[in-house]
């Protein structure tokens, strides 16, 4: 009888360990680093107060990270003998930014609880906090990701939607990540902040949302309805597909509904192929893999 109880207990513990190792959950650092979320929030708040467009840059880092082999902080790695940095890819060249903020988050995190919180997790938290600090929705961020020990330059060039992509190409790239047309439109709403260069080759930067470029709101969708989207990849959401057009109209008229779906889609995107359990590592230096 005692043996049976022990066997059942061990089985239960094994299953629990397996579940914890496979899935993310918001309370992951509650015991190992209780102030983790507070630390990220404080650093991001100071950065956004100093430079409002930093919010869009941090949100973009998380998006680009997740679309290449999952949310694993591979975008943060510098080039080394065995790694070609994803920042050298076409979508990131001369545009990926916010690394000075990541430096400050990492330094503060290592001081509070060394070698505990993954870079992948604080990228996800920084994206959420950037959204909230500019007027957007909040959500509970599932945590427990670990950091990649490699990068994929080809993955970046092939997986990230480009400004001149057709609607079908964009949708296909999202579907390859387990996302659907609702996620395409909702996540594209992050273009309510930030700026970009035109596909024509003009090197000047233009606001993606010229009405309220440093505020997270639904003006992006209103601009699309007025045929004032900056990029082709924005315009096609309203002009090339009936379902996406209807979603654009819905979010343009109902900001609360857009906020609700954006939060859901961010959680969904944040769950793309995370490294958990014993896979990956907790980087000591966010720019390079552990020795």
Q: What are phi and psi of 273, to 5 degrees?
A: 40, 55
| 213 is annotated as contributing to ligand binding | no
| 68 is annotated as contributing to ligand binding | yes
| 192 is annotated as contributing to ligand binding | yes
| 86 is annotated as contributing to ligand binding | yes
In the structure, how many helices (H) and strands (E) does the chain have? Answer: 12, 2
Taking the CB of residue 51, how many other CB atoms lie within 10 A of it? 14
| 72 is annotated as contributing to ligand binding | yes
Output the CA torsion sign for 246, 248, 254, 259: positive
Burial class (CB in 10 A: 0-12, 13-18, 19+), 287: middle
Dig out the tokens for 122 from the structure: 């604080």
| 217 is annotated as contributing to ligand binding | yes
Based on the residue annotation, tell me whether 64 is a catalytic residue of this protein.
yes
| 212 is annotated as contributing to ligand binding | no
| 65 is annotated as contributing to ligand binding | yes
3-state secondary structure 161-199: CCCCCCHHHHHHHHHCCCCCHHHHHHHHHHHHCCEEECC
Residue of 31, 62, 64, 115 marked catalytic:
64
The DSSP result for 30-66, as a single string, is: TTT-TTHHHHHHHHHHHHHHH-TTHHHHHHHHHHHHH
Looking at the annotation, which residues are catalytic? 64
Q: Which residues are annotated as a binding site for substrate?
A: 161
Q: Which residues are annotated as a binding site for Ca(2+)?
A: 65, 68, 70, 72, 74, 86, 192, 209, 217
């Amino acid at each position: 009888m005692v043996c049976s109880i022990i066997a059942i207990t061990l089985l239960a513990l094994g299953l629990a360990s397996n579940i914890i190792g496979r899935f993310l959950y918001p309370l992951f650092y509650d015991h190992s680093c209780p102030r983790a979320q507070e630390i990220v929030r404080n650093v991001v708040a100071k950065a956004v107060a100093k430079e409002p467009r930093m919010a869009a840059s941090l949100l973009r880092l998380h998006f680009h990270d997740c679309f290449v082999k999952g949310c694993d902080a591979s975008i943060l790695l510098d080039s080394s003998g065995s790694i070609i940095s994803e920042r050298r890819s076409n979508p990131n060249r001369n545009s990926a930014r916010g690394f000075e903020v990541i430096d400050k988050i990492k330094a503060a995190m290592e001081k509070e609880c060394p070698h505990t919180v993954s870079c992948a997790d604080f990228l996800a938290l920084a994206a959420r906090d950037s959204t909230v600090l500019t007027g957007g929705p909040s959500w509970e961020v599932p945590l427990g990701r670990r950091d990649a020990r490699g990068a994929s330059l080809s993955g970046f060039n092939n997986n990230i939607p480009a400004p001149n992509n057709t609607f079908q190409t964009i949708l296909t790239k999202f579907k390859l990540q387990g996302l659907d047309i609702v996620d395409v439109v909702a996540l594209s709403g992050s273009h309510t902040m930030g700026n970009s260069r035109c596909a024509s080759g003009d090197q000047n930067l233009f606001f993606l949302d010229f009405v309220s470029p440093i505020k997270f709101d639904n003006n992006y969708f209103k601009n699309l309805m007025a045929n004032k989207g900056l990029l082709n990849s924005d315009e096609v959401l309203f002009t090339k597909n009936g379902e996406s057009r209807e979603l654009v109209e819905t979010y343009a008229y109902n900001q609360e509904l857009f906020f609700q779906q954006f939060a859901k889609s961010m959680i969904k995107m944040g769950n793309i192929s995370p490294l958990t359990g014993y896979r990956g590592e907790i980087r000591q230096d966010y720019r390079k893999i552990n020795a």
